[in-house]
Amino acid sequence: MNFYASREFLDAAASVYFKGRRTAIENVRIGDDVLRLLVVDGSRIVTRLQFLDVHQPLAPSEIEGPLRPGRYARNVVRGVIAKDQWQPDAFPQMELAPYIDWTAFPGFDGYRERLLQRHRGLVRDRERRWRSLAAAQGELVFTADDAADDVLATARGWKSRQLCDTGHPNYFARPETAEFLHLLRERKLLRASTLRAGGRLISVWIGFVYQGCWSGWIFAYDPALKKYSPGHRLLWNMLEESCRCGHREFDFSEGGEDYKMMYATHGRLLGEIGRPPLARSATVLAKSVLAKTSPALLCTVQRLKKQAVAQARPAARRSTGTALTTAPRTGS
């Protein structure tokens, strides 16, 4: 079972996102698959929620009790492939959730050797940057789980600015986001890993460790130090710690960004199950037709959408307060 289908995650989500509502955790059958989901007010099945990244169908041994019928879900695991097998054209209408399978390596040295064989130039360049970072900013200190008061607040500022700058919705503008993260921390479900240089916080990863899997949602760094790749240095420390602790995998969650693909060994194929709503079907069909018949028009539509979002950035920034500096989920 993955974290998103656990009672711990679903209970926390119900407490924050459906406060005052009647909620239950139920097994829901959609087609041939069964998912463990929140059901609100006895009828609304929740399949999409902030921080609910991936649906993993339950194994037969995990299914118990009555099954509620459901209609549709996205980001459902459809299979697993080696990272090198991933070709978007070969898996239409699917996304990849990359991860590292630690069981394939006797230790971290074996994994590092694999990276050097494939990305020797990048690895060596980043190691040089990290030496320069320490020389310029002071001793680098990695903390696997940093409970200091500045961690969540700083990550929020960095991430909010990055979302605004890239035209994405700023989920930190919703008070529920901070409340949810704080609740996970109170329940000892949240892990905030950090890298500090000379005592200064320079990079943060916010996520969780569950049943031997380390994963997360927020990856942020101090943009003033971007040239030193502080995000990659934090991630490197985390990978070494994950392997040392005997985890079965390090999960990068949904999205095939370049930095994830560099480190990953495998990926979960994410697709849809059930019958999508009419609006969803129409959107997918329209994109598919435009991509084949008029790629230029599709690019224009996507560009105009980004411009419209960008025009809303000032208001989004004001809603996050003034103490913002910058940060991406994709590390550097």
The CATH number given to whatever domain includes residue 257 is: 3.40.630.30
Residue pair 93/284 in contact (Cβ under 8 Å)? The answer is: yes
Angle at 163 between CA 162 and CA 167, to 5 degrees: 115
* Of 13, 38, 43, nearest in space to 26 by CA: 38
Is there a domain that residue 50 lies in?
no
Angle at 58 between CA 250 and CA 213, to 5 degrees: 15
- Provide CB contacts within 8 A for 106, sequence distance 6+: none
Q: How many residues does the chain have?
A: 332
Q: How far apart are alpha carbons 140 and 146 in whole angstroms?
A: 14
Report how many domains make up the chain: 1
Residue pair 181/155 in contact (Cβ under 8 Å)? The answer is: no
* Of 289, 287, 269, 252, nearest in space to 94 by CA: 269
Q: What is the pLDDT of residue 318?
A: 44
Is there a domain that residue 186 lies in?
yes
* Sign (positive or negative) of CA dihedral 98, 101, 104, 108: positive
Is there a domain that residue 34 lies in?
no
Residue pair 224/327 in contact (Cβ under 8 Å)? The answer is: no
Q: Which domain holds residue 193?
A: 98-269+312-319
The alpha carbon of residue 217 and the mean position of all alpha carbons in its chain are separated, in whole angstroms, by: 4
Is there a domain that residue 66 lies in?
no
Angle at 216 between CA 241 and CA 94, to 5 degrees: 120
Is there a domain that residue 74 lies in?
no
Q: How far apart are alpha carbons 3 and 64 in whole angstroms?
A: 18
Q: What is the pLDDT of residue 1?
A: 78
Residue pair 196/234 in contact (Cβ under 8 Å)? The answer is: no
Q: What is the pLDDT of residue 166?
A: 84
Is there a domain that residue 28 lies in?
no
Residue pair 46/54 in contact (Cβ under 8 Å)? The answer is: no
Is there a domain that residue 6 lies in?
no
**Please, what are the averages of pLDDT over each run of 10 residues along the chain (332 residues)?**
94 97 97 97 96 96 93 97 94 95 96 95 96 97 96 94 87 94 97 97 97 96 95 97 98 94 97 82 53 62 51 43 34 50
Q: What is the pLDDT of residue 321?
A: 37
Residues facing residue 30 across a β-bridge: 33
Q: How far apart are alpha carbons 11 and 23 in whole angstroms?
A: 9
Q: How far apart are alpha carbons 169 and 316 in whole angstroms?
A: 8
Supply the pTM of this predicted model: 0.83
Q: Using alpha carbons, list the distances in angstroms from residue 306 to 175, 269, 296.
A: 25, 27, 15
Q: What is the pLDDT of residue 327?
A: 34
Residue pair 328/220 in contact (Cβ under 8 Å)? The answer is: yes
Is there a domain that residue 33 lies in?
no
